[in-house]
Structure 1
Amino acid sequence: MAKEAVKYVWEGAIPLQIHLHKSDVASHPAPPPALVLATRIGYLPLLIPLIKPYFKDSLPPGEDSIWFDYKGFPLKWYIPTGVLFDLLCAEPERPWNLTIHFRGYPSNILIPCEGEDSVKWNFVNSLKEAQYIINGNCKNVMNMSQSDQEDLWTSVMNGDLDAYTRLSPKLKMGTVEDEFSRKTSLSSPQSQQVVPETEVAGQVKTARIPVRLYVRSLNKDFENLEDVPVIDTWDDISYLNRPVEFLREEGKCFTLRDAIKSLLPEFMGDRAQTSGEERSIDDTEEADGSREMGEIKLVRIQGIEMKLEVPFSWVVNNLMNPEFYLHISVLVKAPQR
């Protein structure tokens, strides 16, 4: 099952319908949109070699400064495509309609991107950060040969899980294992790394898990995901780049709920509610009286709407991105004050 889960992550893709922005159209009539299948673990700038030839006869002369938007909202190129989709489309839109621009780069919103080189730099830098969080240093990434580093990057660009599985053990990343996930975690690429800690019966053990958490907070409640308003500014999204201290204690299961609670205590107190959970009359009366806690409406990882009771070890060993970060998109109803 674990091997299947990792395979699904690597094969996961989003159908895109790419429109050329009207200000970049230099032909008549305007070209129809391009249809592209984008990998979830990939990045939008890596699609440019596919998209630009399609629109080349319609572009005005001049130097390109390419960027994408969704309903006028500029998309950050260094966030994996699947994470952008999970974060911005509460109700999944297929195909996902994006607009490509070849001029007018919004440098006040987006950091510069020089195509594949910038994306590769971002990936390797994230890999170093992740290894430092897990192992306390990044020497295995730094000591990786140039050819191995290139092959690792190529495996990610091409969605080649077999090649990645051959190369990633050289990074010697730590892994998390416990009695709740041992059988499922052993066959995933991340689980084939060296485990830095020995198992001691009854002992509480910790591991640091690299997590990037994206939180969109809404002031108004909603019944259906299709009622979630379109986002129009990155200011509406809180971004946490913070490790989770994974607690491993024999006989206890550290869950996704525990992990998110460590990152978002203001939304995951003892009386906080998760959408879909039933509360007792006493809980309801107390919540109505205080109205301090918010409500988590949606947690999405790799396109999956997660149950918070799932063992965090399974999530880590199967749903991490290739740079060993776990990307979690959360939609919350803000606390009432």
Structure 2
Amino acid sequence: MGENREIQKGVWEGRIPVAFHLSEDDTENEHPDPVYLMLPRISYFPLHTEKINKHFIKFVNDEQAEEMWLEYDNQPLKWHYPVGLLFDLYCSENSLPWNITVHFKDFPEEELLHCISKDAIESHFMSTVKEADSLKHRGQVINSMQKRDHKQLWTGLLHDKFDQFWSVNRKLMESNGEETFKYIPYRLYMLDRHYVTNLFRPMTDEGRPQVLRQLLMSAVPQLFNEDEEFQKHVRIHGTEPSLDTPIFWLSENFSFPDNFLHLCISET
């Protein structure tokens, strides 16, 4: 087990081609061409959609224009979920480019949080990093860092700087004098329901590494059959890891920048 810089860099460099289309309900006259972007899987939509906003807003009636929001296949997309998580949850590699609809009215208040500024994204991101560290290290690592370290984590993600981000994030991925993390920060996502999580240790009481299969059996036992075969598929960063992968290794190398494993469970 251990960190693998090559894998971490490969995860960081993952991209998804996205085609943004203005909703037909938002314009009465000329319908603009879509805008195409290659977006980092590990990032968040509002960090990349300023040019989308500027391109489409001139086609929208000023009196009707509200906060911009995104939708795919009638599903509003949560801006505080990473791009790659949303893609793996709702789409597939067979559906590229990812066609997303842009809206400027009828904001779905009951389904989405408002995103008033990039400060809101930073605040959400850092609170999630702190939650992850409270699980891994009882919060000791993040609390021992200086404010400039916190800011470097954020600006590294914001400006897509792998080395800048990981020079700080590496401290959060260390075992901090212990053999492994105390608990694994993870969330399991399935369509049409809230994510699932619980406290899960990376090692058994006997000191043996626990694997992804054991995490799934702990969190979603109903998805296994009588022969203990998992009946679904699990994806992270567009890949389907082996269920025999040590969960500590996955946490070190496949966590999103917020330090959580965001695992999508699907039928196919």
| TM norm. shorter chain > 0.5 | yes
Q: 1:309 to 1:140 in 2, by over 3 A?
A: closer
Partner Cα distance (1:269, 1:197) in 2 = 35
For structure 1, the residue ranges without an aligned partner over 5 or more in a row are 174-189, 199-204, 217-235, 275-294
Say whether the 8 Å CA contact 2:202–2:209 is kept in structure 1.
no
Q: Deviations over 1:304-326 (max 9, x none)?
A: 02221222232112100111101
- Tell me the secondary structure at the aligned position of residue 71 of structure 2: strand
* Larger displacement relative to structure 2 (151-160 or 59-68): 59-68
- Tell me the secondary structure at the aligned position of residue 182 of structure 2: strand
Q: Deviations over 1:32-84 (max 9, x none)?
A: 11001111011111122121222233122145311100012111111111001
Question: 1:222 corresponds to which residue?
Answer: none
Partner Cα distance (2:263, 2:149) in 1 = 29
Structure with greater proportional strand content: 1
Asked whether 1:258 is paired with 2:214, we answer yes
Q: How does 1:166-245 map to 2 (within 5 A)?
A: 166-169=167-170, 172-173=171-172, 190=173, 193-197=174-178, 207-216=182-191, 236-245=192-201
TM-score by length of 1: 0.72
- Counterpart of 2:235 (choices 300, 311, 332) is 300
Which amino acid is the alignment partner of residue 216 of structure 2? Answer: I
Question: 1:71 corresponds to which residue?
Answer: 73
- Once the two structures are TM-superposed, the CA of residue 149 in structure 1 deviates from its matched residue by 2.2
Question: 2:266 corresponds to which residue?
Answer: 331
Q: 1:144 to 1:92 in 2, by over 3 A?
A: farther
Identical residues among aligned pairs (%): 31
**Matched positions, count:** 265
Question: 2:60 corresponds to which residue?
Answer: 59
Q: Deviations over 1:152-180 (max 9, x none)?
A: 211112221100122224xx43xxxxxxx
Question: 1:159 corresponds to which residue?
Answer: 160
Say whether the 8 Å CA contact 2:53–2:68 is kept in structure 1.
no
- Tell me the secondary structure at the aligned position of residue 237 of structure 1: coil
Say whether the 8 Å CA contact 1:212–1:325 is kept in structure 2.
yes
Question: 1:104 corresponds to which residue?
Answer: 106
Q: Deviations over 1:168-215 (max 9, x none)?
A: 24xx43xxxxxxxxxxxxxxxx3xx353325xxxxxx77301001112
Partner Cα distance (2:217, 2:234) in 1 = 12
Say whether the 8 Å CA contact 2:18–2:39 is kept in structure 1.
yes
Asked whether 1:273 is paired with 2:229, we answer yes
Q: 1:319 to 1:247 in 2, by over 3 A?
A: same
Partner Cα distance (1:237, 1:92) in 2 = 24
For structure 2, the residue ranges without an aligned partner over 5 or more in a row are none
Q: Deviations over 1:116-169 (max 9, x none)?
A: 122111101101111111122x35435544333222211112221100122224
- Counterpart of 1:316 (choices 251, 259, 262) is 251
Q: 1:92 to 1:260 in 2, by over 3 A?
A: farther
Partner Cα distance (2:205, 2:9) in 1 = 29
Question: 1:146 corresponds to which residue?
Answer: 147
User: Whose radius of gyration is greater, 1 or 2?
Assistant: 1
Partner Cα distance (1:260, 1:273) in 2 = 11
Q: 1:26 to 1:116 in 2, by over 3 A?
A: farther
Q: How does 1:16-35 map to 2 (within 5 A)?
A: 16-28=18-30, 30-35=31-36
- Tell me the secondary structure at the aligned position of residue 114 of structure 1: coil
Q: 1:307 to 1:156 in 2, by over 3 A?
A: same
Question: 1:114 corresponds to which residue?
Answer: 116
Say whether the 8 Å CA contact 1:14–1:40 is kept in structure 2.
yes
Which amino acid is the alignment partner of residue 331 of structure 1? Answer: S
Q: 1:139 to 1:250 in 2, by over 3 A?
A: closer
- Tell me the secondary structure at the aligned position of residue 36 of structure 2: strand
